[in-house]
Structure 1
């Protein structure tokens, strides 16, 4: 879908509204340059653009694919293809939406093909149209306007990632367990964002070093490069910080698991003590509960019943108490110090 198409000459837009594709191709060789903006075109529409402006088939094929990294390609006819990655933070989902802009840059025309909702360029066009002194520099001015808007759009994403990381960091370093899935998700988003930012540095550096930009636009391209360098450093620091937070969260999880294991061990110890107490008592009760002749004939009075039953119950308890007391009160064997010599008896 063609969003806007305009012919610029002497630093100004030559008409109101968008031109048809055929008219734009005709104006491309009559001085100035044409800026054609297309959003998610279909194969037929893209073929029409290719035929009208004589684009290289490999360049058009590149514009149809979604790339993970920005890049720049120069073709024999002088047309340059610059692929940019855009980013936008969605507050509701707390995730980063990405898009892509393919810029076909030639002396007499600029074609921008946008993919994804995070690739809006209306602001860049309006801002450039208010700067006739930059439009007079030619089609390269549009590349600066696009790069400037894309890089400026990175700053809010960095700020929102910082906020999310600070929340996770505060949770982890307070000793609480943070959702590991959320940390992995943030690290994946930071990595994808880094892939969009870092390769673009090489594209801008090459353009500045090879002198492809007009002299009057060099300060503006250097300003974009400086902003991009700052964003790149911040994103790299966020990746490292998320790796540290992930390790710290794993350590907190290990501590919590150890606490659970200790509580389970203490519970099992109490249950073992109770079982040890009732085991001999159950044996005594079961023994005296047997209905055989000697036991029935010898327990003929209440006194005999008390002596046999109470002694039979109390004696195992006393013996068990003494054994447990001696077992817990026994000192642990001394641990020899490191480096000390042990003398053996002959």
Structure 2
């Protein structure tokens, strides 16, 4: 069932879903969608959050075994807007501060008979070519407040829309019938799947940098130079990626192993599957980091070898030039008692000696690979 959910999300992720009705919402423009579900089936007709909550609670009271709940979707609510929502749903006061302030670490916090989960989302930024200023991973946040008869999702950032996820879940009423915790699991699974997708995309960038480092540069027989900036930029983006995903390990383990009043027992094992996917993604990113360290070291070693070759060439030419410089320096002293100064063949002989000496030294350096 979880595999079917992932496939449905992937099929619908790139579709544009507009389910918001901010003008009709008494809770402000941050409301993206508000839908009631009765035993996994979406209730017909849209209605404000207060009316949907009242209807759901009436159904649960009439049928104690019912799993009707309200799913309220928000996007970057203000503190005043969320204060109204907190009052309507009876949220714990501490959830207001956590919900309206972004840039939290991934965590799971229980509040009485509700649960706050914070997920850091990551989106791959497409680019034609990786440069020293390219942004590879863009981060955002999704916060999920889960109660007995409601689930509130709060999204921060330009990516991570939950519209496709909602459609995929509605196609699986048996999963939604398990209550609000099924939405919490679906969001966690969605976020971790995005981690895996971003990691696969980053692999292409690393392969491109690795190829550039070990390939000949510009066809001149020189190794790729100027790659250190790109490697460093990629390592910085990977660090941002790791900061988003690594802290999620413990919260997922807690959801999979520790009982919670708002987590259905049949949903808890699914969090263990999500935790396994996250562990593999973290291992992959750690492997990328180690690989980039190796590529950087190889690049620096190549630069050192290239510099040594340049220094050998400079030294060889300096040695060749030193021979005529020395001879000319001797004959430029202009002493009176220098017998060679009066010799008729002195000039061509000295030029010949200098040429032969330079040629011998050049051939020696050439044979030894210095030139």
TM-score by length of 2: 0.74
Larger Rg: 1
- Distance, in Å, in 1 between the alignment partners of 2:283 and 2:341 is 87
Cα displacement string for residues 4-24 of structure 1 (whole angstroms, at most 9, x for unaligned residues)? 11111121111234x323324
- Distance, in Å, in 1 between the alignment partners of 2:346 and 2:237 is 72
1:9 equivalent in structure 2:
38
CA contact (8 A) 2:38 2:56 kept: no
* Residue among 267, 280, 287 paired with 1:230: 280
Question: Larger deviation: 270-279 or 33-42?
Answer: 270-279
Structure 2: 5+ residue stretches without partners:
1-29, 61-67, 128-133, 216-222, 362-371
- Distance, in Å, in 2 between the alignment partners of 1:149 and 1:28 is 26
* Residue among 288, 300, 325 paired with 1:250: 300
Runs of 4+ in 1 over 6 A off after TM superposition: 314-325
Q: Residues 148 and 320 from structure 1, CA distance in 2 versus in 1: closer, same or farther, beyond 3 angstroms?
A: closer
Deviation for aligned residue 1:232: 1.7
Deviation for aligned residue 1:173: 3.7
Q: Residues 42 and 257 from structure 1, CA distance in 2 versus in 1: closer, same or farther, beyond 3 angstroms?
A: same
SS at match of 1:120: coil
2:5 equivalent in structure 1:
none
CA contact (8 A) 1:80 1:106 kept: yes
Q: Does 1:78 align with 2:113?
A: yes
- Distance, in Å, in 2 between the alignment partners of 1:160 and 1:262 is 42
1:53 equivalent in structure 2:
89
1:115 equivalent in structure 2:
156
- Distance, in Å, in 2 between the alignment partners of 1:27 and 1:255 is 75
SS at match of 1:6: strand
1:344 equivalent in structure 2:
none
Cα displacement string for residues 275-318 of structure 1 (whole angstroms, at most 9, x for unaligned residues)? 2232234444xx79xxxxxxxxxxxxxxxxx9826366478779
Deviation for aligned residue 1:234: 1.0
SS at match of 1:91: coil
Q: Does 1:199 align with 2:227?
A: no
- Distance, in Å, in 1 between the alignment partners of 2:88 and 2:349 is 107
Deviation for aligned residue 1:133: 1.0
Cα displacement string for residues 55-107 of structure 1 (whole angstroms, at most 9, x for unaligned residues)? 233222122333363111112x3221100011111112561111100111111
- Distance, in Å, in 2 between the alignment partners of 1:126 and 1:234 is 30
2:319 equivalent in structure 1:
269
- Distance, in Å, in 1 between the alignment partners of 2:124 and 2:89 is 35
Deviation for aligned residue 1:227: 1.8
- Distance, in Å, in 1 between the alignment partners of 2:303 and 2:89 is 60
Question: Larger deviation: 126-135 or 186-195?
Answer: 186-195
CA contact (8 A) 1:73 1:82 kept: yes
Deviation for aligned residue 1:272: 2.8
- Distance, in Å, in 2 between the alignment partners of 1:324 and 1:270 is 5
Could you say what the CA RMSD is over the residues aligned between the two structures, in angstroms?
Answer: 3.1
CA contact (8 A) 2:120 2:141 kept: yes
- Distance, in Å, in 2 between the alignment partners of 1:283 and 1:318 is 20
2:25 equivalent in structure 1:
none
* Residue among 126, 131, 144 paired with 2:172: 131
CA contact (8 A) 2:257 2:268 kept: no
TM-score by length of 1: 0.78
Q: Which has the higher contact order (CA 8 A, sep 6+)?
A: 2
CA contact (8 A) 2:119 2:141 kept: yes
SS at match of 1:117: coil
- Distance, in Å, in 2 between the alignment partners of 1:307 and 1:250 is 54
- Distance, in Å, in 1 between the alignment partners of 2:84 and 2:70 is 16
- Distance, in Å, in 1 between the alignment partners of 2:288 and 2:120 is 19
Structure 1: 5+ residue stretches without partners:
289-305, 328-346
